[in-house]
């Protein structure tokens, strides 16, 4: 099937390319005309906070919401100054006219506590109706910016992440710039560099702009989910195309004609790519089993982008290879220099430097034009000399590790375990607006509220109470008194009835509780737990139902819910991966080692992430780790690590089956794949690592974690632990009980042997018998 499909793409290249161009145009048009509908709302099923929100929604419509924001005012002459008050009231009248927004003015009875003690700072609470999604809240934020654009001496800041302006990331361009450099340095060919990048970009555009836009209309997908999809899609898409291009070049170097080389590359590397890509997609879609729309949306968004990049790798790439043929090996100085200038321009765009971008782009165009007239630029770059396999550094490295396997195994494992240690102190939770960039109005509003009222006013709690009879008013007062007596509480408001005219006839009350700490502080989480513990005995045996809710308690409930399901999710992914690898390699020990080593590299990356983003290493302000990040990182990294696992071990197994030598097969397999694995990992690291430059904390955290995990997997695991453990186990690596071999399905990710492919294609080419010959061109 793979060969037939590759043959069709080879025979109809312009049809395939035209279809992809049409898909790209349609995706960009869809994104611009229809537009996405992002939604970052989350709720924990059957949690105390969700019960509290239901009470508020039923009895106090518009009084508060899980997500909202504030307009924060500051006036040196005082908020009570008649001119200032008049201006604020005029602003609030305009804001109240916005659909979906309810305003609680600081001058109203309900908002009496919203003026700071010194009288210079006040805020108006803005609550959004439940049917407002994240895209609409962003549009509301734009309207708010227009309303408060010209307020003279009155300072107005817009608080709340829901109203924050969304800025598309530019740092992925930095990753692309470095990917160009890595590919050119590794392979010395402009086309060998350009094809993987072009294929990956096509898949990412169609996936993130088109498919994800459609998904937002039907599912809960947060605004940062497409960025994660772009991050993964670029890295994975370049890697997938790179594996196929590398195999294609390897075959053409051996003297195989391009048409047959395309078919053979798709039937070998293409199979491995499809296996690896589907593994990533399935891992991400496994998040649907968690049962939370917020988490499911992230998984679907990332899976959709990876899936489209996978499709582009196995369709668009063969079509492009059919047009390039042997030109993929021809690089002229003008192309090489122009590619360097393109990388410089992309770097400038990623850094937000338009001068550097124009400089790089301009020089690239000048170089290409001048290359048609300047003889020196038209000359071909000398072809690199290819060393025999066993003269390469990778082969010598592997043999060196195999001579001292225990030292390598203990040393590599010790490093990974040491990096893992911070994981045991990981605290899951949501970071607050205090992590926004200091020049944003969201961060300035946060700081003003903290300055005027205290940190806790940025994350107030709400105690939602339902009563059975007028006699329950005494219980309500007792709950308020218990809240005031709880350690960590800064202030408690008066119980607010749903029937303000006749409180005794009220069916529900709400009490606002202000903690002392900031929303993301560990002490604030302790305060939530202490309050719930204090309220429980008061309502026990009464007809009163009291639920502590608000954004902070909701995030705690959400984190607890995910924490209880992480182990189940991790276990399911590990078990499925174990059986898939056992079916591929017909071994028990190889899958066990792979699972253990992958877990070590992922947990080590978790540990570094906790040290940097929670404990505040490298000068980054510490905060909790978002509860969905461990799950997302695990699904992504474990799936991506299968790329390297299959690519490396399939070559090792191929050599072992051919020679029966358990030692040299490891060294030969590692040497044959070291360059492409190193290049692929380097691309992943720079694409993911570039997101560390983003202002959004979640994106920075994701980028850092994924870059570290890939780096550790491609270095300590693939280049150290794999050769060491395979040396120690010898022939036992490939042991599988006969009874298991009989009942275990076979999963072929290697395709037919090269000899069979060539024979079936009717090509009379002598196939190299040794690995050394395989990397040397047949002259």
- Tens-place pLDDT, residues 20-41: 999 999 888 887 787 777 776 6
Distances in whole angstroms, Cα of residue 500 to Cα of each of 60, 471, 480, 495: 11, 17, 18, 11
Rounded Cα distance between 382 and 379, Å, is 9
Dihedral, 321, 324, 328, 332 alpha carbons, nearest 10? -150
User: Which residues 6+ apart lie within 8 Å of 305 measured at CB?
Assistant: 203, 204, 207, 208, 211, 212, 226, 229, 230, 232, 233
Q: What is the pLDDT of residues 607-641, one digit of tens each?
A: 999 999 998 887 777 889 988 888 888 888 877 77
Tell me which residue of 69, 19, 39, 65 sits closest to 433, measured CA to CA: 69
Q: E strand or H helix at 336, and its extent?
A: helix 333-350
Strand-by-strand arrangement of the 155-159 sheet: 101-104, 121-128, 68-74, 155-159
User: How many angstroms from the chain centroid is the CA of residue 319?
Assistant: 30
**Percent of the chain at pLDDT exceeding 90:** 25
Q: What is the pLDDT of residue 660?
A: 81
More confident residue, 463 or 216: 463
Spatial contact of 677 and 644, defined as CB atoms under 8 Å apart = yes
Q: Around 441, how many Cα atoms within 13 Å sit in the side-chain half-sphere?
A: 22
Q: Which of 240, 314, 289 is nearest to 635 (CA)?
A: 289
Arithmetic mean of pLDDT, 423-449: 89
pLDDT given for residue 753 in this prediction: 54
**pLDDT class of 464 with cuts at 50, 70, 90:** very high
Q: What is the pLDDT of residue 46?
A: 79
Superfamily of domain 67-163: Multidrug efflux transporter AcrB pore domain (3.30.70.1440)
Quote the distance between the C-alpha of residue 626 and its chain's center.
12
pLDDT at 309: 92
**pLDDT digits 0-9 by tens, 731-750:** 888 888 888 888 888 776 65
Q: Tell me the two tokens of residue 14.
A: 């312009």
Please give the radius of gyration of the chain, using alpha carbons only, rounded to the nearest integer. Answer: 30
Instruction: For 626-655, give one letter per residue: b (16+ CB within 10 A) or e.
Output: bbbbbbbbbbbbbbbbbbbbbbbbbbbbbb
766 pLDDT higher than 60: no
Q: What is the pTM of this model?
A: 0.81
For the chain, the domains span: 67-163, 393-440+564-748, 441-555
Give residues with Cβ within 8 angstroms of 346, minimum separation 6: 173, 174, 176, 177, 180, 357, 360
The string of DSSP codes covering 288-319 is GGG--HHHHHHHHHHHHHHHHHHHHHHHHHHH
Mean predicted confidence (pLDDT) in 679-685: 85
441-555 and 67-163 share a CATH fold: yes
> Could you read off the pLDDT of 327-343 as tens digits, one per residue?
777 777 888 888 888 88
Mean pLDDT of the region 677-699: 83
Q: What are phi and psi of 612, to 5 degrees?
A: -80, -50
> Which CATH superfamily, name and number, covers 393-440+564-748?
Multidrug efflux transporter AcrB transmembrane domain (1.20.1640.10)
282 by Cβ neighbours in 10 Å (0-12 / 13-18 / 19+) ranks as middle
**72 φ, ψ to 5°?**
-105, 130
- Which range of 367-371, 436-440, 490-494, 645-649 scores highest in mean pLDDT? It is 490-494
Pairs from 739-746 (Cβ < 8 Å, separation ≥ 24):
740/588, 741/586, 744/582, 744/583, 744/586, 745/583, 746/583, 746/586
Dihedral sign for Cα atoms in the order 613, 616, 622, 627: positive
The tens digit of pLDDT for each residue in 94-117 reads 999 988 888 889 998 778 889 999
Instruction: Convert the pLDDT of each residue in 374-420 to its tens digit.
Output: 777 777 777 666 677 777 888 888 888 989 999 999 999 999 999 99
pLDDT score of 767: 41
Assign 3-class secondary structure to 557-625: HHHHHHHHHHHHHHHHHHHHHHHHHHHHHCCCHHHHHHHHHHHHHHHHHHHHHHHHHHCCHHHCCCCCE
- For Cα atoms 715, 721, 727, give the angle at the middle one, nearest 5 degrees: 135
Residue 779's pLDDT band (cuts 50, 70, 90) = very low
**pLDDT attached to residue 773:** 37
237-246, 250-259, 309-318, 573-582, range with greatest mean pLDDT: 309-318
Instruction: Indicate if the pLDDT at residue 216 is higher than 90.
Output: no
Looking at residue 57, what is its pLDDT? 84
Which CATH number does the domain 441-555 belong to among 3.30.70.360, 2.40.100.10, 3.30.930.10, 3.10.20.30? 3.30.70.360
Cα 488 vs. chain centroid, distance in angstroms? 35
């Amino acid at each position: 099937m793979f060969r037939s499909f590759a043959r069709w793409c080879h025979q109809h290249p312009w049809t395939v390319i035209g279809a992809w161009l049409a898909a790209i145009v349609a995706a960009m048009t869809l994104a611009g005309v229809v537009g996405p509908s992002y939604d970052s709302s989350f709720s924990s099923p059957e949690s105390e906070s969700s019960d509290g929100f239901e009470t508020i929604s039923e009895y106090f419509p518009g009084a508060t919401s899980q997500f909202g924001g504030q307009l924060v005012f500051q006036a040196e002459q005082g908020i009570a100054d008649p001119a200032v008050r008049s201006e604020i009231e005029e602003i609030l009248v305009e804001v109240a006219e916005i659909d979906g927004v309810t305003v609680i003015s600081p001058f109203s009875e309900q908002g009496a506590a919203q003026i700071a003690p010194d009288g210079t700072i006040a805020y108006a609470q803005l609550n959004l109706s439940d049917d407002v999604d994240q895209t609409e809240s962003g549009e509301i934020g734009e309207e708010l910016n227009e309303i408060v654009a010209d307020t003279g001496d009155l300072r107005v800041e817009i608080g709340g992440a829901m109203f924050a302006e969304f800025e598309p990331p530019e740092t992925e361009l930095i990753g692309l710039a470095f990917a160009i450099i890595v590919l050119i340095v590794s392979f010395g060919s402009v086309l060998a560099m350009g094809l993987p990048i072009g294929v990956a970009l096509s898949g990412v555009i169609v996936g993130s702009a088109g498919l994800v836009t459609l998904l937002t209309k039907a599912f809960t997908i947060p605004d940062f989910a497409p960025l994660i999809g772009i991050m993964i899609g670029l890295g994975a898409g370049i890697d997938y195309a790179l594996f196929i291009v590398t195999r294609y070049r390897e075959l053409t170097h051996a003297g195989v004609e391009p048409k047959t080389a395309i078919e053979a590359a798709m039937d070998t590397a293409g199979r491995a790519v499809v296996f690896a890509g589907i593994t990533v997609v399935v891992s991400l879609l496994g998040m649907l089993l968690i049962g939370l729309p917020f988490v499911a949306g992230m998984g679907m968004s990332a899976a959709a982008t990876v899936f489209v990049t996978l499709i582009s790798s196995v369709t668009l790439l063969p079509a492009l290879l059919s047009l390039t043929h042997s030109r993929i090996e021809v690089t002229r100085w003008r192309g090489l220099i122009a590619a360097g200038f393109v990388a410089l321009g992309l770097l400038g765009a990623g850094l937000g430097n338009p001068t550097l971008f124009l400089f790089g782009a301009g020089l690239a165009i000048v170089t290409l034009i001048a290359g048609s007239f300047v003889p020196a630029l038209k000359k071909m770059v000398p072809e690199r000399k290819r060393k025999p396999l066993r003269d390469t550094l990778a082969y010598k490295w592997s043999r060196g590790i195999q001579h001292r396997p225990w030292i390598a195994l203990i040393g590599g494992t010790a490093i990974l375990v040491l990096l893992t240690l911070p994981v045991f102190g990981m605290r899951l939770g949501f970071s607050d607006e205090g992590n926004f960039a200091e020049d944003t109005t969201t961060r300035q509003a946060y700081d003003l509220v903290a300055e005027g009222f205290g940190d806790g006013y940025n994350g107030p709690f709400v105690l939602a109470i339902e009563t059975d009879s007028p006699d329950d008013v005494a219980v309500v007062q007792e709950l308020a008194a218990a809240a005031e007596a709880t350690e960590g509480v800064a202030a408690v408001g008066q119980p607010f009835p749903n029937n303000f005219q006749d409180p005794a006839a009220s069916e529900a009350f709400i009490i606002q509780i202000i903690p002392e700490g900031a929303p993301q502080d560990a002490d604030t989480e302790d305060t939530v737990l202490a309050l719930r513990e204090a309220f429980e005995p008061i309502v026990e045996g009464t007809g009163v139902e009291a639920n502590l809710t608000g954004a902070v308690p909701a995030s705690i409930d959400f984190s607890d819910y995910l924490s209880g399901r992480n182990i189940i999710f991790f276990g399911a992914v590990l078990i499925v991966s174990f059986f898939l690898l056992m079916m591929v390699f017909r071994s028990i020990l190889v899958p066990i080692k792979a699972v253990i080593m992958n877990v070590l590299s992922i947990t080590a990356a978790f540990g570094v992430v906790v040290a940097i983003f929670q404990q505040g290493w490298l000068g980054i302000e510490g905060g909790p780790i978002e509860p969905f990040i461990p799950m997302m990182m695990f699904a992504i990294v474990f799936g991506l690590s299968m790329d390297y696992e299959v690519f490396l071990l399939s070559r090792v197994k191929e050599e072992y089956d051919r020679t029966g030598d358990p030692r040299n097969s490891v060294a030969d397999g590692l040497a044959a794949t070291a360059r492409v694995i190193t290049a692929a990992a380097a691309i992943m690291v720079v694409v993911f690592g570039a997101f560390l430059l983003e202002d959004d904390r979640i994106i920075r955290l994701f980028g850092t974690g994924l870059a570290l995990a890939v780096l550790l997997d491609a270095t300590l695991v693939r280049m150290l632990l794999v050769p060491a453990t395979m040396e120690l186990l010898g022939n036992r690596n490939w042991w599988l009980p006969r009874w298991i071999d009989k009942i275990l399905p076979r999963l072929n990710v290697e395709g037919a042997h090269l000899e069979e492919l060539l024979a079936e294609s009717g090509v009379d080419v002598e196939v190299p018998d040794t690995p050394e010959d395989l990397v040397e061109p047949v002259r």
